[in-house]
């Protein structure tokens, strides 16, 4: 029998897996790929963004609620999921920014924090790993730390001299960064809304592009997964404290999203297989390598 393909997606908080690459994961699950979401922190310091749930009793039980929400989202996507067990750092606000809380994820030593992920990589043996870019996708300290830890673990997992107590070495074959929102994607959705006579939720985003670097040119891989956008949204709504079901993320009609930008996009940053760019499959080159074993 052919070896089952395996994908590991490393995220900072519960809910990140449902807003970044969720349709891609649902697509690969439907195709028989074994998908494992790794969640670095418990999301204990996240905001309650659903006004219907912003109540004292919710805040008092937020850690357990986030775990239950993650269980629900995992079931929607059809993935497996593992916790690394670090404590949410929160998003510091103010001028000057306050110090990060003692013991939080973002203050851990990268070499030590990478250990639990190395262990998981050697146990799960992913062929493909996805995470955030060097800016964390956006500059949340936990997202930036997630990037650092994932890159460190990707490089260490195959080295028998590193973390020898954490299992037999395993070499993942490809590492990708998620490119969630490029200027091209925002403009396509914005123009689609205007053409339909609807108010675009992206007006302010477009105004801010003058101060931002467009990561669109970094995209190497576009995975067609529009069929799974409704699954993505169901998974996101499962994180009920983290998303307003009447809010920004759901303003663009589904049919328009599927037509205007039917892919989820990634940047290939490490590859140990031959995979000419651009790609339409995270497993390009991997399928051939696995089949040849």
140 is in an annotated binding site: no
How much is the pLDDT for 279?
98
pTM, two decimal places: 0.95
Q: What are the backbone angles phi and psi of residue 106, rounded to the nearest 5°?
A: -65, -15
How much is the pLDDT for 1?
59
Q: Domain for residue 239, yes or no?
A: yes
Beta bridge partners of 83: 39
Q: Domain for residue 277, yes or no?
A: yes
Name the average pLDDT for the chain.
Answer: 93
Q: Domain for residue 195, yes or no?
A: no
Q: Domain for residue 91, yes or no?
A: yes
Q: Domain for residue 193, yes or no?
A: no
Q: Domain for residue 192, yes or no?
A: no
Q: Domain for residue 13, yes or no?
A: yes
Residue 262 token pair: 């039917």
Domain that holds residue 20: 6-182+216-291
Residues 6+ apart with CB under 8 A from 177: 130, 131, 132, 133, 147, 218, 266, 267, 269
16 is in an annotated binding site: yes
92-124 pLDDT tens trace: 888 788 899 999 999 999 999 999 999 999 999
Domain harbouring 16, CATH code: 3.40.50.10320
| Number of domains into which the chain is organized | 1
Neighbouring C-beta atoms of residue 137, cutoff 10 Å? 24
127 is in an annotated binding site: no
23-51 pLDDT tens trace: 999 999 999 999 999 999 999 987 777 88
Q: Domain for residue 67, yes or no?
A: yes
């Amino acid at each position: 029998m052919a070896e089952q393909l395996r994908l590991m997606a490393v995220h900072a908080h519960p809910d990140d897996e449902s807003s970044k690459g969720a349709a891609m994961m649902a697509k690969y699950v439907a195709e028989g790929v074994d998908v494992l979401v790794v969640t670095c922190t418990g999301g204990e310091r996240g905001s309650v963004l659903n006004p219907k749930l912003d109540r004292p009793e919710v805040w008092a039980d937020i850690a357990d609620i986030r775990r239950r929400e993650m269980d629900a989202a995992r079931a929607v996507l059809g993935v497996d999921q593992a916790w690394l067990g670090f404590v949410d750092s929160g998003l510091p606000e103010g001028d000057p920014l306050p110090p990060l809380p003692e013991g939080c994820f973002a203050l851990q030593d990268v070499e030590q924090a990478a250990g639990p992920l190395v262990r998981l990589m050697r146990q799960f043996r992913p062929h493909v790993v996805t995470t955030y870019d060097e800016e964390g996708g956006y500059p949340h300290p936990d997202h930036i730390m997630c990037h650092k830890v994932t890159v460190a673990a990707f490089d260490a997992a195959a080295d028998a001299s590193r973390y020898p107590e954490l299992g037999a070495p395993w070499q993942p074959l490809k590492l990708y960064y998620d490119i969630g929102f490029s200027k091209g994607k925002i403009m396509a959705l914005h123009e689609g809304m205007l053409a339909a006579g609807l108010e675009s939720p992206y007006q302010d985003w477009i105004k801010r592009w003058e101060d931002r670097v467009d990561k669109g040119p970094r995209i190497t891989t576009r995975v067609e997964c529009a069929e799974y956008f409704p699954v993505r949204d169901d998974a996101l709504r499962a994180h009920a404290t983290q998303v307003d079901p009447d809010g920004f993320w759901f303003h663009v009609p589904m049919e328009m999203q599927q037509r205007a930008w039917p892919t989820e996009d990634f940047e290939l940053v490490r590859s140990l297989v031959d995979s000419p760019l651009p790609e339409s499959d995270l497993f390009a080159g991997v399928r051939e390598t696995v089949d040849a074993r």
